[in-house]
Amino acid sequence: MTESNAVRVRFCPSPTGNLHVGNVRTALFNWAFARHHGGTFVFRVEDTDAARDSEESYQGLIASLRWLGLDWDEGPEVGGDLGPYRQSQRMDTYAEVVEKLIAAGYAYYAYDTPEELEERREQARAEGRSSGYDGLHRDLTAEQRAEFEATGRKPVVRFRMPDEPITFDDLVRGEVTFDPEHVSDYVIMRANGQPLYTLTNPVDDAAMGITHVLRGEDLLSSTPRQIPLHRALVALGIGEGVVPQYGHLPFVMGPGNRKLSKRDPGGGLDTYRERGFLPEGLLNYLALLGWSIGGDRELFSLAEMAEAFEIERVNPNPAQFDLKKCEAINAQHIRELDVSELAGRLVPYLTDAGLLGPEPTSAELELLAQATPLVNERITVLSEAVDMLAFLFVGDATFRVDPDDAAKLLTEDGLGVVRAAHDALAGLETFDTPSIEQALRDALVEGLGLKPRHAFGPVRVAVSGRRISPPLFESIELLGKERTLTRLAAALGGGDA
């Protein structure tokens, strides 16, 4: 049993592929609410749709939450006293609950055919009435049921809605009322015995003692159906005896001011993992979609969010997703990382690009550690470091110069700059950043009379392969004298400079 005053929230996605960022925000708000109140965060998986759910997606869901750092107190891989936490393992429970609801008069068998339902709906619409279920089969006698079954009809099970308004205090939106004509009796089990979300979700919430349900605004219309079902479950002694409080989070809007979908750019979590967003950066931004930590402050940690999180401060108005803003927040979190930690987070991206082996050598890791400070102020996502640092990790035999950048800067005049740079660096006995800078400035700025932006561009392309690179002098020091001179010579045609 759960403690009567303990906060218990849940996140219960379906394992149907790439997790939507709107669902990530829902998970975040539930996690922060639980942590703020010293409560329990339950992770539950709604995997009853055999046609769409898969074990691969289930494992991906687990991995996504682990990557995000949203730890759960009960659920898959963690366990708990009120499991199992996968709906596919709870089918017997749903069948038993339906039987009890029918026996107590809270639910009933309905034998309407789809054609009959549509005909009556069309008539209701023509007469200006609600097109919801009209309750025709609410009070069938045993004889009437037998007649339908004799013709081979298989019934659905409908929940009997009370004939009165349903009012509840939404934690985000305040008092909300639904009139009975807009909330008709609804199906909780298909004719083939398959339970629907309208049944499984409240039954699991009841069984697991969920006290607060924080979910998307798109599910607001289902709440007046679920509250009476919860009351029926309490009356029948099913579950932990709790009717949850509900709070509906605002829509996350995408391009064209419409609800962000998984198919929209930036709609799915995998995109952010692949591009190299920090989980703390992404979650920081998603927290700002409908909530504020206070004042003009935008940067905060998960721990700081949990400490400050109040559901009453969630704005009910739709939140606009801005990818540029998300990138800017992530870039700030990158700047906050210790250099050694940032270097460690870059390793998988350099490995995927083939710049590091599956087990990087100590020399490679040392070079990465030295190079990381050169890019931490220049990247917004981790994957951007790959192109910036590639010149340090490729061998001279495989090093390539970007042809477009070469065409712009390694012109006849540019090659003259490269030749002068080669000669200046070849004479250095001490090959460190101050010496390199002084030698190139003396040779190119003073010696050739060039402005710095004209002087160093050709050198940058010759040694890094790109017009955009980490700071030039520091990069040359890391590359080393021999490799630097080799690349300058190669830009000049491979001969002696």
Three-state SS for 214?
Answer: strand
Which range has the worst mean pLDDT, 82-96, 225-239, 248-262? Answer: 248-262
Binding site feature residues: 262
Give the residue among 262, 94, 277, 332 at the shortest CA–CA distance from 194: 94
Per-residue confidence (pLDDT) for residue 449, from 0 to 100: 95
Interval 447-461 mean pLDDT: 93
Tokens of 88: 């596919």
DSSP summary character for residue 137: T
Q: Which long-range contacts (CB under 8 A, 24 or more apart) does 350-359 make?
A: 350/385, 350/386, 350/389, 350/393, 353/386, 353/390, 355/386, 355/389, 355/390, 355/393, 355/394, 356/393
Per-residue confidence (pLDDT) for residue 55, from 0 to 100: 83
Where along the chain do its domains lie? 8-76+252-323, 90-249, 338-393, 396-497
Binding site feature residues for ATP: 262
pTM: 0.92
Burial 275-311 (b: 16+ CB within 10 A, else e): bbbbbbbbbbbbbbbbbebeeeeeebebeebbebbeb
**Beta strands 186-189 and 156-159, pairing class:** antiparallel
Cα–Cα distance between 158 and 148 in angstroms, integer?
Answer: 16
Cα–Cα distance between 271 and 24 in angstroms, integer?
Answer: 13
Question: What does pLDDT average to over the chain?
Answer: 94
Asked if pLDDT for residue 51 goes beyond 80, the answer is no
Give the residue among 207, 204, 198 at the shortest CA–CA distance from 156: 198
| Assigned CATH class of 8-76+252-323 | alpha beta
pLDDT tens digits, residue range 204-219? 999 999 999 999 999 9
What would you measure as the largest C-alpha separation in the chain, in angstroms?
Answer: 107
**Selected residue with higher pLDDT from 168 and 452:** 168
Interval 22-26 mean pLDDT: 95
Query: Within 13 Å of residue 354, how many CA atoms lie on the same side as its CB?
Result: 3
Per-residue confidence (pLDDT) for residue 278, from 0 to 100: 98
Interval 302-321 mean pLDDT: 96
CATH fold, domain 90-249, is Rossmann fold (3.40.50)
pLDDT tens digits, residue range 364-418? 999 999 999 999 999 999 999 999 999 999 988 899 999 999 999 999 999 999 9
Per-residue confidence (pLDDT) for residue 497, from 0 to 100: 40
Asked if pLDDT for residue 57 goes beyond 90, the answer is no
Three-state SS for 71?
Answer: coil
Cα-flanking dihedrals φ and ψ of residue 328, to 5°? -65, -40
Residues 6+ positions from 367 with CB-CB distance below 8 Å = 392, 393, 478
Per-residue confidence (pLDDT) for residue 244, from 0 to 100: 98
pLDDT confidence of 266, banded at 50, 70, 90?
A: confident
Asked if pLDDT for residue 54 goes beyond 60, the answer is yes
Name the percent of the chain lying above pLDDT 90. 88
Asked if pLDDT for residue 262 goes beyond 90, the answer is no
Say if 8-76+252-323 and 90-249 have the same CATH topology.
yes
CATH fold, domain 338-393, is Helicase, Ruva Protein; domain 3 (1.10.8)
Tokens of 440: 């190139």
pLDDT tens digits, residue range 91-138? 999 999 999 999 999 999 999 999 999 999 999 999 999 899 999 999
Residue with tokens 């009351």: 231
CATH fold, domain 396-497, is Arc Repressor Mutant, subunit A (1.10.10)
Per-residue confidence (pLDDT) for residue 495, from 0 to 100: 44
Per-residue confidence (pLDDT) for residue 3, from 0 to 100: 52
Cα-flanking dihedrals φ and ψ of residue 144, to 5°? -65, -40
DSSP letter string over 218-236?
GGGGGHHHHHHHHHHHHHT
Q: H-helix or E-strand containing 370?
A: helix 362-375
Cα–Cα distance between 98 and 94 in angstroms, integer?
Answer: 6
**Beta strands 8-11 and 40-43, pairing class:** parallel
Hey, which residues are catalytic here?
A: 262
Q: Residue 265 burial (CB < 10 Å; 0-12/13-18/19+)?
A: exposed
